[in-house]
A and B are shown apart, each in its own frame.
Chain A
Amino acid sequence: MDLFEYQGKQLFAKYGLAVPSGEVADTPEQAKAAAEAIGGTVVVKAQVQVGGRGKAGGIKLAKNPDEAFAEASNILGMDIKGHTVNRLWIETASDIKKEYYASVTFDRSAKKPLVMLSAMGGMDIEAVAEEHPEALARLHVDPLIGFQPHHARWLIYHAGIDEPAQKGVLDALTRAYEAFIGLEATLIEINPLIWTADDRVVALDAKVSIDNNALYRHPDLEALKESVTDDEQERMAHERGVTYVKLDGDVGIMGNGAGIVMSSLDVVALAGGKPANFLDAGGGSNAEAVATALEVLLSDPKVKSLMINIFGGITRCDEVAEGLLTALDKLGATLPIVVRLDGTAAEAGRAIIAERAPANVVVEPTMLSAAKRAVELAKEAS
């Protein structure tokens, strides 16, 4: 789960990591009130989960509450790389002496936390890593030992952090690691981590991702979960617990298991078609899961044909077939549906479809032939 900047900063504050004081605003009026409460010059920041907000005009300085109102009016509703701005974070403007970069992430390759620090913050850190690899200090931490002060010192010296800021950065890194562990985050990224004119070290941005599998231990974080998508199918899938990603094609795809669904997208593309989505109904898909998944797929008007690709392991193909019939009964869909069933109870499943399914449902024997047929039918329908 990815958090918004304002959520990340509120959590940082709980871990004692310094952040500029700020407030959330959903309207220009609220932005004005926030600016009044904070006092002085404020920054109006669009809350979207995408990089390049500043360049897109989503971050503006406001010298007084009226300017905050005006900037908020401009930014709210703005589209930043496909993300609509619905919320702002208003915070006190900082007097920046220098911008650093700090992160704690979960390194999938080393299977350990990785702490990174650079004195070249505020800019595109990927470019820094590429062009000045020596400027990005990296250190893996043994998760059974934890982040020790000598780790922080090593990073600070190797990143070349300015002497007056060193103590503040050491403290910030330690607290960022504590937040990483405490929140069960997969990423804590602070870019920039600033050294202020009055020699404080403050997190000016916050990117925080939380491990979904750990949310059961963090009911307070679970409550932060909000739908960040404007897409109807994605929202519907999210509400029903279906793993779904929308793509831009017209062949709807459903399968059981992420691997076989990804493979199905690939074979549809190889057959000259364009997949409309990724939908994993899950291993152990029962009739109900299939019906739910179909509802999501069929609600998308762009979908011209469906490919249902099931390889039964725990999943029983006869249950899938029953679920399909139930869903079609209820939804009354008429678009062509190509079904491929293999594995556990595949023959029973195919028999159910042959005997009782409406004419728009066809069975294909292999994954490749099913993909080819679904692509042809989508082309005929459009």
Chain B
Amino acid sequence: MSILVDQNTKLVVQGVTGREGQFHTLRNKAYGTNVVAGVTPGKAGQDVEGIPVFNTVRDAVEATGANTSMIFVPPRFATDAIYESLDAGIELTIAITEGIPAHDMMRVYTHLKRGDQRLLGPNCPGAISPGKATVGIMPTDVFTPGRVGIISRSGTLTYQISKEIGDLGIGQSTVVGIGGDPIVGSSFIDILQMFEADPETDLVVMVGEIGGDEEERAGEFIAANMKTPVVGYIAGFQAPPGKQMGHAGAIITGSSGTAQGKKDALEALGVRVGTNPTEVAEIVADTLK
């Protein structure tokens, strides 16, 4: 197994005819992902190197049975694209787009949580199950098939840690970028839950960073619900405290949000945390022994 993306993924790409959309669609396809359709309003009937283009996501779903969507449209159209994907019944929407307004995402998130569809991102690199399928913008040659799951808020850091782990001969079941925005569709906990249920994932690496309280809450979830071991990493120990205006934010998060606070919270809950990507890989290898 693996989670989110695999041989059963039937991908439709929203924004398939744009420069970046086209580039990454073809790369995903070349890796083996089953790309069944693209959507660009007004371009129905065209194709992108054999991938049929439709005017709407619903048309694409009806014609191809697409179950996963990847969104590559610019921020000002991306909110609509997410709603369109959800309305068309897509099970998993992966929004790569960076820069979607927070108020839009507050509404999207509230709507999303009233149903049982899944959204990854926005502002995320996607997900890859090495050897099976990739949806997104990750550099595929960093990953090898294996039994470690990775969840991360950051793109490049995910590649770094995957490579460090790979250098020790350890591959990945699925690597998931949940996105760096304050509001993303799937949390660490959502994905941890999926890895816990995946018999082919023996260990999970959770790559966090400063800000918010997602890592702390994930720590509590791990302690209470997970048998699969989790190794943590937090980036941003040297980051200056954010220039914060007003105090409303501090009231909500209390003392959490700093790298040290997150590391302490995770360790107190029994999660080992590496201080740099190399050490994380060493802890992973040690735990799997």
Query: Which of B109, B163, B249: most chain A Cβ within 10 A?
Result: B249
Question: B246 to A268, Cβ gap below 8 A?
Answer: no
* A184-B102, A263-B160, A270-B276 given; A109·B252 CB < 8 A: yes
Question: B106 to A217, Cβ gap below 8 A?
Answer: no
* A214-B103, A367-B276 given; A262·B110 CB < 8 A: no
Is A359 on the interface with B (CB-CB < 8 A)?
no
B251 surroundings in chain A (CB, below 8 A)? 116, 125-126, 129, 136
Question: A342 to B101, Cβ gap below 8 A?
Answer: no
Is B111 on the interface with A (CB-CB < 8 A)?
yes
A195 surroundings in chain B (CB, below 8 A)? none
Question: A217 to B101, Cβ gap below 8 A?
Answer: yes
Question: A186 to B102, Cβ gap below 8 A?
Answer: yes
A209 surroundings in chain B (CB, below 8 A)? 245-246
A113 surroundings in chain B (CB, below 8 A)? 106
Report how many residues on chain B are interfacial, defined by Cβ distance under 8 Å. 61
Question: B138 to A313, Cβ gap below 8 A?
Answer: yes
Is B32 on the interface with A (CB-CB < 8 A)?
no
B274 CB to nearest chain A CB (Å): 11
Question: B107 to A314, Cβ gap below 8 A?
Answer: no
Closest B residue to A265 by beta carbon equals B238
Question: A259 to B157, Cβ gap below 8 A?
Answer: yes
Is A382 on the interface with B (CB-CB < 8 A)?
no
Residues 193-252 (chain A) with a chain B CB within 8 angstroms: 207, 209, 211, 213-214, 216-217, 245, 247
Give bound CA distance, A283 to B238, whole Å: 21
Is A80 on the interface with B (CB-CB < 8 A)?
no
Question: B246 to A258, Cβ gap below 8 A?
Answer: no
B115-152 Cβ-contact flags toward A at 8 Å (1 or 0): 00000000001000000000001110010000000001
Categorize the interface residue count of chain A. 35 or more
Contact of A143 among B110, B154, B276 (CB under 8 A): B110
Closest A residue to B104 by beta carbon equals A214
Is A22 on the interface with B (CB-CB < 8 A)?
no
Is A366 on the interface with B (CB-CB < 8 A)?
yes
Question: A49 to B245, Cβ gap below 8 A?
Answer: yes
Contact of A144 among B99, B107, B207 (CB under 8 A): B107
A226 CB to nearest chain B CB (Å): 15
Residues 308-335 (chain A) with a chain B CB within 8 angstroms: 311-314
Give bound CA distance, A368 to B163, whole Å: 14
B88 CB to nearest chain A CB (Å): 20
Is B7 on the interface with A (CB-CB < 8 A)?
no
Question: B245 to A266, Cβ gap below 8 A?
Answer: no
Give bound CA distance, A112 to B275, whole Å: 33
Is B210 on the interface with A (CB-CB < 8 A)?
yes
B193 surroundings in chain A (CB, below 8 A)? none
Contact of B156 among A112, A126, A283 (CB under 8 A): A283
Pick 12 A–B contacts, CB within 8 A, sort by A: A105-B248, A109-B253, A111-B183, A144-B111, A207-B245, A209-B246, A258-B209, A263-B236, A269-B238, A283-B156, A367-B277, A367-B278
